[in-house]
Structure 1
Amino acid sequence: MKKLSTKIWLLILLFLTVTVIFMVLFTDFLYERLYVSDSEQSMIEVGEKLQSLYKGGKVTDELVDKIEEYNLFSNFNVFAVRNPRELSACVPFEIDYDTLIGPDERQQLLQGKSITKIGYEQRFDREVISVILPFTDQNRLEGILYLYYPLAKISELANTEVLVLITSVVLFSMLIAFFVHKGLRRIMRPLNELHQAVEKMSEGDYHTRVQVASSDEIGKLSKAFNEMADAIQREDEERKIFLATVSHELRTPISYVKGYSEAIQNDFIEGAEREEAIKLINREANRMERLTNEILELARSKEQEAINLYPIVLAETIRESITLLEHLAQKKEIYIQTDLDESIIVQGDEEKLKQIFINVIENAICYSNEESTINVLTKSIKGNAIVEIADKGIGIPKEDLPYVTQKFYRVNKARSRADGGSGLGLSIVDQLVKLHHGKLFIQSEEGKGTTVTITVPLLEE
């Protein structure tokens, strides 16, 4: 597998290769389109001016001499001849007459058009451009004007600068290579650190962090890695605490069940004490079952990113939840008073909403004094349904309020364990409310009671 730096080097090399090929093609284009074209156009312009000296009739010696005098001060070689076959005696290289002026070319000359020829000439060891213009009179070819010029090679156009050019290219390439190498090392350093940090993370070292040294994409990646590492570390710490707490919560009921069951099996307990021991075993088994179910429910609520929401009549769901808890309230002679708005319809999951209300109302019953009242109120404000569940129970100390939705958090650990509480109820409620895109608020005063407020979005009309 190629390293990223190697891939970048290969990419740079590819760009340089493409650039060189482009420059070669572009240079050839400039040579053909600019230099050759310019030379051709200049020769045609000179030829047309010299052609204008011919006034018709036979081509005179005077005209031929006058035209050839132009060679003294021109870069182009110019000859005027009466018969095109005479050119071979004028130019210093062999001319194939049939190739130079064939039937097609002769027809063009009779029409007064010029002819341009470009071909390699061994004597000059270069391309030679030729322009032929006619001397015509009454549709007769009386003679021709022949101009030729040996084109310079591309290398000759900048012959004196070639060494300087090559030296400059080499030095520039070395300079570019040096800075690219330095730049790649600087760019790759945080990536290498990030790679090492990932390897440490994969080995279980969740304290690993990388330095954020820039605000570019690599800096953002490093920042994202640190945030991810923080989240993983918190999750790992929560997992360890969670497992330790679960082990602690299960250890007590398991020890009770094991101890009393062994005592009963060995006939160490008899009579009324035996019946009491069986009740205790049943109670602790129920507590373990409830704890296990709550742990599973909490895990499911955390894993769910979304739930299916559909229209629900809120008052009906609350009444059904209260009905399920009536027997518990009757044991303590607690009256649940309701003030429900029958018109409120929310977007929610009925079973999960029941679970929310059952958990909160059950807590209110458990921590309320006997012969007291619990008030359940619903109303709508600014697109949200508001559910308030208020009791006049023992309340929650102010310092404990921020933590009551944490897993396994207990305000009164001794009382909660005796009542079978696990410290997971409000944590589950908090998760389920968030799944409904709602909010959970808890207000309490020790010795005066607690009010739990739940907001859930109303059905959009």
Structure 2
Amino acid sequence: MGRTQDIIALVGEGDRGRTLLETLLAAPGVEVRYYVDTDPASPGVALAREHGVRCRDDGCFDDLHGDADIDLIVETTGDSNVLAALATAKHPATRLLDPAGVRLMLGLLEARREATSLARDERRDYERRIAELTAVVERAPVEQACYVRQASHQVKTPLSAIQSYVNVILGGYTGEIPERTREVVEKIHSRCEAALANLAKCRMLADVRCSGRDGLEMSTVHLNELVGEAVELRAELADGRGVEIRYLAREGADLVLCDPQKTVVLLAELVENAVVYSHDDGLVEVSIEPAAGRLAVVVRDHGIGIPERCLPRVFDEDYRADPAVQHHPDGAGVGLTIAREIADLQRFDLSVESEEGQGSVVTLTVPPAPAS
């Protein structure tokens, strides 16, 4: 394998010798092997010794005689006797550069240094712009979430007012209404409830995104208690559809480190999703199981299931598979997105398995709390 560096011997004196030595030491692809001067106290000699360069301070060229490894001898004094002696001492294949050549070389090195500096400045500018653009891209979802949060609040107010007026009408406070009118008003009431529920989901997702990891309040809690609370939160929904939620609590260690409030929200979304997409009078099974040193909350339903082609997108915001839309037209398509966002914030694993027409299994895997 050939050498990757040019080997140079430098014959110099005083500040001029030091300047050139400094330049060559900083140049890539160059090894300064010898430095020759006539003054033991010259700055070039001191610099050469500092960098481990073989040094002669008596003006003697004995070390250079016939050394075939030296590619170039650089002579800076301009002394014709020195040049003649070097021409005699050097190996035939070694090139000898006189002061005129040195000036040219220095000019080229300076041009190279300026080009390198310019390239470095341009790279810094490029990296700065990339960092700025990255920051904008990273801020965009948060800013969008904050906008959604504000907009959902503004939309909620008139919807709540409409719902209140509808309740007044249905309550008979405005007098008797025809049966056909009642049916229409009841549909308005139902749509208002669905819209408000969906707005609440959108606002919840926006809150999670706006607060990010900085909004987490971590503590050590019993996973059994969190799952039990989530099941209780969705018990009324399940009762309304005749769906049984069967929860099997874990026996043994169940301590985890998490944000309890957000984790309950996550678990409640998983349970709600299972209840909503179960058949009437169906069964949802919730359990906590060991999983390779971690704890897995498994939510299993026996409902409509998810087509295989739709599985990669089930956690995407606003995405709903066709069977889901037909089964539950009023859904917002953000429940599993909320669950995924909260899981990602806490670095939990969330996965789903499903077979269309047979039901789904959603698994949340949580590391146990560190030993105290």
| Pairwise TM-score range, normalised by the shorter structure | 0.5 to 0.7
> Is 1:366 matched with 2:297?
no
Percent identity between matched residues is 20
How far is 1:297 from its partner? 2.6
**How far apart, CA to CA, are the structure 1 residues paired with 2:277 and 2:235?**
15
> Is 1:457 matched with 2:357?
no
CA RMSD in angstroms, aligned pairs only: 4.9
Give 2:219's aligned amino acid. Answer: Y
Aligned to 1:312: 221
**Unaligned 5+ runs, structure 1:** 1-12, 36-157, 202-224
Q: Are the aligned partners of 1:294 and 1:425 in contact in 2 as well (CA < 8 Å)?
A: no
Q: Are the aligned partners of 2:148 and 2:202 in contact in 1 as well (CA < 8 Å)?
A: no
> Is 1:395 matched with 2:305?
yes
Return the match for 2:287 from 364, 372, 377. 377
Q: Are the aligned partners of 1:305 and 1:435 in contact in 2 as well (CA < 8 Å)?
A: no
Give 1:330's aligned amino acid. Answer: D
Worse-superposed segment, 422-431 or 332-341: 422-431
Instruction: Report the CA distance shift for 1:326/1:287 in structure 2 as closer, same or farther (over 3 A).
Output: closer
How far is 1:293 from its partner? 2.0
Instruction: Report the CA distance shift for 1:253/1:159 in structure 2 as closer, same or farther (over 3 A).
Output: closer
Aligned to 1:218: none
Instruction: Report the CA distance shift for 1:318/1:409 in structure 2 as closer, same or farther (over 3 A).
Output: same
The one-character-per-residue Cα deviations of 1:205-254 (angstroms, maximum 9, x if unpaired) are: xxxxxxxxxxxxxxxxxxxx49x868966986x78998999999999999
How far is 1:408 from its partner? 1.9
> Is 1:325 matched with 2:255?
no
3-state SS of 1:374 partner:
strand
**How far apart, CA to CA, are the structure 2 residues paired with 1:245 and 1:352?**
19
Instruction: Report the CA distance shift for 1:235/1:415 in structure 2 as closer, same or farther (over 3 A).
Output: farther
> Is 1:424 matched with 2:327?
no
3-state SS of 1:409 partner:
coil
3-state SS of 1:176 partner:
helix
> Is 1:178 matched with 2:108?
yes
3-state SS of 2:269 partner:
helix
> Is 1:16 matched with 2:31?
no
**How far apart, CA to CA, are the structure 2 residues paired with 1:171 and 1:163?**
13
Instruction: List aligned pairs for 1:80-91, cutoff 5 A.
Output: none
Aligned to 1:346: 256
How far is 1:321 from its partner? 1.4
**How far apart, CA to CA, are the structure 1 residues paired with 2:244 and 2:114?**
75
Instruction: Report the CA distance shift for 1:159/1:371 in structure 2 as closer, same or farther (over 3 A).
Output: closer
**How far apart, CA to CA, are the structure 2 residues paired with 1:259 and 1:28?**
89
**How far apart, CA to CA, are the structure 2 residues paired with 1:447 and 1:305?**
41
Return the match for 1:439 from 325, 349, 372. 349
Return the match for 1:290 from 200, 204, 207. 200
**How far apart, CA to CA, are the structure 2 residues paired with 1:258 and 1:448?**
41
Return the match for 2:266 from 356, 365, 370. 356
Return the match for 1:386 from 296, 306, 309. 296
How far is 1:329 from its partner? 0.7
> Is 1:334 matched with 2:243?
yes
**How far apart, CA to CA, are the structure 1 residues paired with 2:155 and 2:306?**
25
Return the match for 2:41 from 26, 33, 40. 26
3-state SS of 1:369 partner:
coil
Instruction: Report the CA distance shift for 1:293/1:17 in structure 2 as closer, same or farther (over 3 A).
Output: same
TM (normalized to structure 2)?
0.60
Give 1:168's aligned amino acid. Answer: D
Instruction: Report the CA distance shift for 1:415/1:235 in structure 2 as closer, same or farther (over 3 A).
Output: farther
3-state SS of 1:379 partner:
strand
**How far apart, CA to CA, are the structure 2 residues paired with 1:313 and 1:279?**
40
Q: Are the aligned partners of 2:198 and 2:332 in contact in 1 as well (CA < 8 Å)?
A: no
How far is 1:437 from its partner? 2.7
**How far apart, CA to CA, are the structure 2 residues paired with 1:230 and 1:313?**
39
How far is 1:431 from its partner? 2.1
Give 2:245's aligned amino acid. Answer: I
**How far apart, CA to CA, are the structure 2 residues paired with 1:400 and 1:306?**
32
Q: Are the aligned partners of 2:142 and 2:210 in contact in 1 as well (CA < 8 Å)?
A: no
**How far apart, CA to CA, are the structure 2 residues paired with 1:28 and 1:332?**
92
Return the match for 2:317 from 389, 392, 407. 407
How far is 1:322 from its partner? 1.0
Instruction: Report the CA distance shift for 1:18/1:182 in structure 2 as closer, same or farther (over 3 A).
Output: closer
Give 1:16's aligned amino acid. Answer: T
3-state SS of 1:337 partner:
strand
TM (normalized to structure 1)?
0.50
Q: Larger radius of gyration, structure 1 or 2?
A: 1
**How far apart, CA to CA, are the structure 2 residues paired with 1:196 and 1:17?**
33
How far is 1:179 from its partner? 2.9
How far is 1:306 from its partner? 7.9
Aligned to 2:98: 168
How far is 1:180 from its partner? 3.1
Q: Are the aligned partners of 2:201 and 2:335 in contact in 1 as well (CA < 8 Å)?
A: no
**How far apart, CA to CA, are the structure 2 residues paired with 1:231 and 1:433?**
23
Instruction: Report the CA distance shift for 1:19/1:326 in structure 2 as closer, same or farther (over 3 A).
Output: closer
**Unaligned 5+ runs, structure 2:** 1-15, 24-36, 46-56, 59-77, 87-96, 169-173
The one-character-per-residue Cα deviations of 1:304-358 (angstroms, maximum 9, x if unpaired) are: 1684433221112211211121111110111111222132222222212211110
**How far apart, CA to CA, are the structure 1 residues paired with 2:146 and 2:320?**
17
